[in-house]
Amino acid sequence: GENVEQHPSTLSVQEGDSAVIKCTYSDSASNYFPWYKQELGKGPQLIIDIRSNVGEKKDQRIAVTLNKTAKHFSLHITETQPEDSAVYFCASGETSYDKVIFGPGTSLSVIP
Amino acid sequence: DTGVSQDPRHKITKRGQNVTFRCDPISEHNRLYWYRQTLGQGPEFLTYFQNEAQLEKSRLLSDRFSAERPKGSFSTLEIQRTEQGDSAMYLCASSPPGSAGELFFGEGSRLTVL
């Protein structure tokens, strides 16, 4: 069945350093890969997404890469700030208007 | 506040009781999703609607769970004969027409089954 794995489960970095979160997916039909950030007591919020027709996308300090052949995709956060501390979820879906399947999450702590 | 609204925010019930959660999506969002999240895990897909039509329901979902969206606006999720394993955060999300993809989540309804 559909499955998304995510590593690491916890990540601690010094302020200003980079953070990388990696995901793999099992459904070959997946073409849409969003990333969500969840702060304590809130619902997840989309921070960036990528579709299978591109290999990389960047938005300020955040970038995502996709290797569809290997079924891998990654989130890169540069120049981390304390407010980046949260749980990050990768997800995959066949299309951007279908359901998405979430990974188990990465708890990121940015130490001032 | 024009975000996704969920009610109640917290529900404590005894095993065997029925519970119902309500979700009011963002106005004019035609797709509505229900997810379940347990501590330390990612959201688990339950079901989703496009307007009033329920397009997909998770194969893992017990028949004790039922969801409706009768007029294509708000939705309800009912759990019958609750079990302790149903304790979780129930998240609702909505998405606008088109293929932008972003899910707008509410803050969730937390269920505790004693």
Minimal Cα–Cα distance from A26 to chain B, Å? 16
A102, B93: Cβ pair inside 8 Å?
Answer: no
Quick check: B64 and B46 in contact, CB under 8 A?
no
DSSP 8-state assignment for residue B104 = E
> By CA distance, what is A94's nearest residue in B?
B101
Nearest to A43 among B95, B101, B105 (CB): B105
Band (A1; pLDDT cuts 50, 70, 90):
low
Are the CB atoms for B43 and B112 separated by under 8 Å? no
Q: In this structure, what are the phi and psi dihedrals at residue B93, rounded to the nearest 5 degrees?
A: -140, 155
Contacts of A104 in chain B (CB under 8 A): 40-42
Interchain pair A49, B45: CB under 8 A: no
| Residue B40 to residue B42: CA distance in whole angstroms | 7
Residue B110 pLDDT exceeds 80: yes
Whether B103 has a pLDDT exceeding 90, the answer reads yes
pLDDT tops 60 at residue A48:
yes
pLDDT confidence of residue B85: 95
**For A20-40, what is each residue's pLDDT tens digit?**
999 999 999 999 999 999 999
Residue B39 burial (CB count, 10 A): 7
